[in-house]
Amino acid sequence: MGKNILVVDDTLMMRKLIKRFLGQFYDIKLEENGLEAILSMQNGYIPDLIISDIQMPKLDGFGFIEQVKATGFLKGIPVIMLSSIDDSQVRLKFLKLGVTDYLIKPFNPEELVIKVNNIFERMQEQVSS
């Protein structure tokens, strides 16, 4: 069984791009905003990794990640934030929340694939040791 990745981004092109690159290796679920992603998880979808934008309607990336990290069951899910906001204070805010990584848009899709692979490899090593 493959790993499940939840991609949360309000831009259709970004969702399609991520699915095209990561969908070759992983099962991808796409949501348009944090609220839809939360509802999806409340309805039983538990991803192995979350990739989320920050600036989204209804529930932005910050509110979404706050809710995920506040839930004991979901707290351990690794998260990669994608954003056009290249601001160290914003990055620090998310890293303090427990986000695993932060990538600035535009990014090289191959870099995202490598980061995701590395996260899953580290998780596998922790399980094995």
Contact 112, 21 (CB under 8 A): yes
Please tell me the predicted confidence (pLDDT) of residue 71.
84
Please tell me the predicted confidence (pLDDT) of residue 73.
81
Residue 49's SS3 state is strand
Per-residue pLDDT of the chain (129 residues; tens, 9 = 90+): 589 999 999 999 999 999 999 999 999 999 999 999 999 999 999 999 999 999 999 999 999 999 999 988 889 999 999 999 999 999 999 999 999 999 999 999 999 999 999 999 999 998 887
Range of the domain at 88: 4-128
Taken in order 25, 53, 71, 38, the sign of the CA dihedral is negative
Short-list 11, 25, 9, 20, CA closest to 119:
25
Say which CATH number the domain at 45 has.
3.40.50.2300
- Residue 5 in tokens: 């990745």
**Angstrom distance (rounded) from CA 114 to CA 110:** 6
Residue 45's SS3 state is coil
Q: Give the chain's domain count.
A: 1
